[in-house]
Chains A and B, each alone.
Chain A
Amino acid sequence: MNIKGLVSDIQDCYLLSIRGILGIFRRPFYFKDTIEQMDYAGAGSFLIIFLVSLFIGMALSLQLSAELSRLGLKMYTGKVVGISIIREVGPVTAALVFSGRVGAGMASELGSMILGHQIDSLRVFGVDPIKKLVTPRILSAVIMLPALTLMGDAVSLFGAYYIAVFVSHQSGYFYWSSIKDILNFENVLAGSIKPFIFGYLIACISCYMGFSTKGGAVGLRKSTTRAVVMSIIMIIISDFILTRILLYVLGFSV
C-alpha cells in the first residue's frame, strides 16, 4: 500500500464520517432505516455479546482468584475483576465482537450495493446515499454499542461472581460490596465513553470500506476483510489513547 493512497483513504473516511454525522441534522431523516439498523446491530448482537462476556468474566475471575489467593489477597478479586471489566475488558470485547458481526455486515451490504449499481440508482433518484445508508448505521452503532457494552459488563460481573463465590468460595456479600465501591464516577465514565467512540469508528470505517468496494466478488471479500481488520486495529489503538487521556483527565497518576 502506498502512502499517498493511505492518506487519501484516511481523508475520504474522515469526510464520510463527518457527512454521516451531519446527516442527522438535515432533512429528510430516515427514521425507519435507523430503527431497522438498530434492530440488526443491537438485538441481533445481544446473544453473542452475552455469551462472550459471560465467559470472559468467568475466565478473568478464575485467573485472578488463583493468582491472588497465592498471595493471600483473595478478597480483592471482586475489585480487580470489576475494574478490569468496567474500564477495559468490557468495552473492548463488545467492540471487537461488534466489528466482526455488524461492521462486516455493513461493509458487505454496502459493497454489494455498489457492485450492483444500487448506490448509483439511489443518486439518480435524488437520494443522498450518505444520509440514507451511512447516517442510520452510524446512529445505530453509536446507540447500540454502549447499550450492548452495559449489558455485557453486567453479564461479565455475574460470571465473575459465580466463579468467585461458587468455585473460589469467597463471600458473595463482600464481592458485591467491592463492586459497589468501584462503581464510582471515574470508573463508570472511563468505561462508558469508550463504546460511543468505538461504535462511531466501526460504523464509519465499515461504511467507507463498503463504499470503496470495486472488482466483483474478490473485491467484496477484500473490502469486508479490510473493514474488520481496520476496525479492530483502530479499536485497540484508540482504546490506548482514550485510556491515556481519561487517566490524565481524571487525575490518576500512573
Chain B
Amino acid sequence: MIVFDNICFSYGTRQVLKDISFSIESNERVAILGGSGEGKTTILKLIVGLIKPDSGRIGIDKVDITDKTEDELREVRKKFSIVFQEGALFDSLNVKENVAFCLREYTKMSEEEIEEKVGKLLRKVGVEQAMQLMPDELSGGMHRRVAVARSLAVYEPRMFLYDEPTAGLDPVNAENICNLIVDLSKGGIGHVVVTHKVVDALRVVDRFMFLQNGVMIFDGNSYGLMHSAIPEIQIFISELNFNSKENRQFV
C-alpha cells in the first residue's frame, strides 16, 4: 500500500534521507526504528504528503502522490489515521472538542449525537472520564489515547501511523498504549510505528526497519533483528532484558 521509491529528502542543506526504498502492505505491522533526529518523523510526514521529497516517488495504493496538491491529498490522508509525536492535540480545546473536531468539520451531527460519538470513542481508548479536561491537564498516556480517539473520529482508516507512541511514558502506560495499538489493528488493519524503543516495538509489530544516517540499514523480522551483526542495532537491542521470559520468547 505504501511504496517509497528512491526517496531523498533534505531540510535546507542538511540531507536527512538518502535514497530510501521500501514497500509496506496495508495489513502489515511495521516498526521504523532509529535514534533521535535520524528522520523517522520525516518518513511519516512524507507518507501523508505533509512534505515533498527532493527526488524519488511515493505511491499510496498504486497512486503516485508525489506531485499531488493539498486538495488532492485530502483523499489520500483519509486512508490513514496518524498520531503525532506528543499527540499534537489542539491545546486551546478541551478533550471533547478535540475529539469532536473532525465531526464538527465534516458532519452535520447534532450536539447529542456528537456527545454520544465522542463518549464512544473515548471509551474505546479508555479515557471517558477525561471528557471535560484540557490537554495540559492530561498525563502523557491519556494524551496519546485522546489523540488516537481523535484520529478515529471520522473515517475508518486503512492503516494506522504512530509517531513515538510510547516515548516519555512509564512502563505501565507504555504497555497500555501498546495493547491499544494491538487491539486497534485486529481485523487486518496494519500499522507503522515509529519509535526508538525496541522493547515496545517487539510487542506490536512483526517487521522492523532500522534507519541510520539517512539509510535503511535493516529490514526484516524480529529474529533477524536480534541476530543482526550491525553494531548500532546491537546497541539498540542491548537495552532489552534478556532474562525476562517475555522478551526471550521473541528471540
Contact = CB atoms under 8 A, between A and B. Distances in A.
Interface string B200-232: 000000000000000000000000000000000
14 contacts: A116-B86, A117-B86, A118-B90, A121-B84, A123-B70, A124-B48, A124-B77, A124-B80, A124-B82, A125-B77, A125-B101, A125-B102, A125-B154, A128-B70
Given A125-B101, A125-B105, A117 B84 contact: yes
A124 B153 CA distance: 13
Interface string A114-146: 001110110111111000000000000000000
A120 B88 contact: yes
Contacts of B154: 125
Contacts of A113: 90
B18 interface: no
Interface of B: 45, 48, 50, 70, 74, 77-78, 80, 82, 84-86, 88-91, 101-102, 105-106, 154
Contacts of A118: 88-91
Interface of A: 28, 112-113, 116-118, 120-121, 123-128
Nearest to A122: B90
Contacts of B105: 28, 125-127
Please indicate which of the listed interface residues A28, A120, A127 has the most CB atoms of chain B within 10 Å of its own CB. Answer: A120
A117 B102 contact: no
B78 A117 contact: no
A113 B78 CA distance: 22
Contacts of B77: 123-126
Given A120-B45, A120-B50, A126 B74 contact: yes
B162 to A, nearest CB: 13
Contacts of A127: 105
B148 to A, nearest CB: 13
Contacts of B102: 125
Contacts of A123: 50, 70, 77
A116 B70 contact: no
A113 B86 CA distance: 13
Contacts of B86: 116-117
Nearest to A109: B92
A123 B68 CA distance: 14
A120 B101 contact: no
B63 to A, nearest CB: 17
Contact of B88 (A28, A121, A128): A121
A118 B89 CA distance: 7
B100 to A, nearest CB: 12
Contacts of A28: 105
B198 to A, nearest CB: 24
Contact of A117 (B70, B85, B101): B85
A120 B105 CA distance: 16
A126 B225 CA distance: 37
Please indicate which of the listed interface residues B70, B80, B88, B101 has the most CB atoms of chain A within 10 Å of its own CB. Answer: B88
Contacts of A125: 77, 101-102, 105, 154
A126 B153 CA distance: 13
A118 B91 CA distance: 8
Given A118-B91, A123-B70, 5 more contacts: A116-B86, A117-B85, A117-B88, A124-B82, A125-B105
Contacts of B89: 118, 121
Contacts of B84: 117, 120-121
Contacts of B101: 125
B33 to A, nearest CB: 21
Nearest to B78: A126
A28 B70 CA distance: 15
A215 to B, nearest CB: 12
B85 A121 contact: no
Nearest 3 Cβ contacts at the A-B interface: A117-B88, A126-B74, A117-B84
